[in-house]
Amino acid sequence: MDEATETTIVGGNIMFVCCTKPENLDREERLSEDLLVRYCRVCGRRHFEASADPGQFGLRGTPL
């Protein structure tokens, strides 16, 4: 198996070994202010990186 087909688990996600090496993610494209796409030069897969402002997540109950 080569690194373009061998997988590993990173942060709970399945990734290809070639994509875990920063030097392979050399080409990047900014799709918007908050969205960046990086391309692996070994396998050509795309990796999305999004950023968001801090906020609160939760539910609001309604009176019964």
Has residue 61 been placed in a domain? no
For residue 35, give its domain range. 7-50
Query: How do residues 12-32 score in pLDDT, each as one tens digit?
Result: 788 889 998 999 998 999 999
Has residue 58 been placed in a domain? no
Has residue 25 been placed in a domain? yes
SS3 49: strand
- pLDDT of 57 > 80? The answer is no
Has residue 31 been placed in a domain? yes
Number of structural domains the chain divides into: 1
Spatial CA neighbour of 4 closest among 17, 13, 15: 17
Has residue 38 been placed in a domain? yes
pTM of the entire structure?
A: 0.67
